[in-house]
Amino acid sequence: MQASQEQSRRQRRGVRPFRPHSVWVSALVALASVGCGSSENRAAASAEGGAGCGTCPAGHTCGTANGIQVCRGESGVPLFTSVVVIVMENTSLASLKASANTPYLSGLEKTWASASDYHGVAHPSLPNYIAMTSGDTGGIGCDCSPEGAACTASNCSVLVGGCGCALPGAANLGDQLEAAQGDWRMYAEGMGTPCNMVSSGAYATKHVPFLYYTGVTDDAARCADHVVDFSEFSKDFGADAMRRFSFIAPDLVHDMHNPVPAGAQNYANGDQWLSGVVPPILDSAAFKKGGLLVIVWDEDDLSGITSPDDPIPMYVLSPFAKQGGFSSSSRADHYALLATIEEGLGLPRLGHAQAATPLTEFFPAK
């Protein structure tokens, strides 16, 4: 009876389940024998100029990235000690470049690396977040809630999001990392209570993709440990350590979403917030050991009326990455980013990331 009730509850909460890919499952079993921690140690030693690559995991060979010795995957992506992703909102690259009040981002562009032809994979926001963490949009067509009556074709559209669209059975980065004994956390500004599934004020659940994976939310202890308020982030890397994977969602003001319609104040708000959050990450021993920080936007702002799929900003910061203002003109999207993150953490690729081209161009041998 209890199992039947749980199944009914899952059905009420979800609308379009998609199942883990068998390729991912079999590959993850093989990965477990290698060990995620050993990859982290090798990457750390390499970035610090220590013992070099050591013994690389299966499918990896010893090489260099930005002149630093490190194990590299078949596509050329180096193994990272940790990955941090910060997701901003609704801004095209052209709009950001035209703004005159983003001095910090302008500095990052000149100092590190960025992309000039990077794109979201859907509209509106939520399916992009799901794609970034699972390799598929899950069939979601609106900014719906992780709870509530199941969405249907009539009540789930780009403009209407008053329904629930949880994703039972959806494989995601959190599942992958835990199966490979690697730690992760989702940090949402304004969340307050861990695993808070109700939007309020400047806190928006639609920007917290792990709240939509019922494999996470149906386990209260697991969700409370992994989906937390952003205030926890500084504590997690304060002792020169960092989770293997960190996904950060600023609140609606700091991610450039509000006010609506967007204007100069949006860009200033986001730039100022990043100027306070990013420097401690870059200064941390965890990042310097071989980390990756990606700052990316979810979708464009539709400023190109004749071309609603405008390029969006994306910055790549890592000891292994090109620096000095490098700009990649290769077309890429959220699936390419996911492929890069998964390969960089020694994980198999999920969903559409399997066919995507990783962002290898950012990580040259010299």
pLDDT by residue, tens only, the chain of 366 residues: 434 443 433 343 333 333 334 333 344 433 433 333 345 555 554 555 444 788 999 999 999 999 999 999 999 999 999 999 999 999 999 999 999 999 999 999 999 999 999 999 999 999 999 999 999 999 998 999 999 999 988 888 766 667 999 999 999 999 999 999 999 999 999 999 999 999 999 999 999 999 999 999 999 999 999 999 999 999 998 767 789 999 999 999 999 999 998 899 999 999 999 999 999 999 999 999 999 999 999 999 987 765 668 999 999 999 999 999 999 999 999 999 999 999 999 999 999 999 999 999 999 987
Residue 294: CA count within 13 A, CB half-sphere: 26
- Quote the CA–CA distance of 120 and 67 in Å, as a whole number: 31
Tokens of 188: 């949402």
Tell me the CB-side half-sphere exposure of residue 90, using CA atoms within 13 A: 21
Least Cα distance to 189 among 248, 275, 274, 146 occurs for: 248
Q: Are 57 and 47 in contact (CB under 8 A)?
A: no
Q: Which of 288, 307, 181 is nearest to 244 (CA)?
A: 181
Cα–Cα distance, 219 to 226 (Å, whole number): 11
Report how far residue 304's alpha carbon sits from residue 226's, in angstroms, rounded to the nearest whole number: 37
The pLDDT of residue 302 is 85
What per-residue confidence (pLDDT) applies to 154? 83
- Residues near 276 by Cβ (< 8 Å), separated by ≥ 6? none
pLDDT at 168: 96
Nearest Cα to 254, choosing from 281, 276, 235?
276
> How confident is the model at residue 346, as a pLDDT?
95
Report d(CA 264, CA 246) in Å as an integer: 29
Looking only at the bridges linking them, the beta strands covering 227-229 and 245-249 are: unpaired
- Looking at residue 29, its pLDDT comes to 37
Token pair 């980013």: residue: 337
**Residues β-bridged to residue 94:** none
CA angle 144, 274, 47 (to 5 degrees): 105
133 C-beta neighbours (distance < 10 Å), count: 26
CA angle, residues 65, 355, 178, in degrees to nearest 5: 70
User: What is the helix (H) or strand (E) element at residue 279, kind and residue range?
Assistant: helix 264-283
Where do the domains of the chain lie, and which CATH numbers do they carry?
2-362 (3.40.720.10)
**Cβ–Cβ < 8 Å for 184, 246:** yes
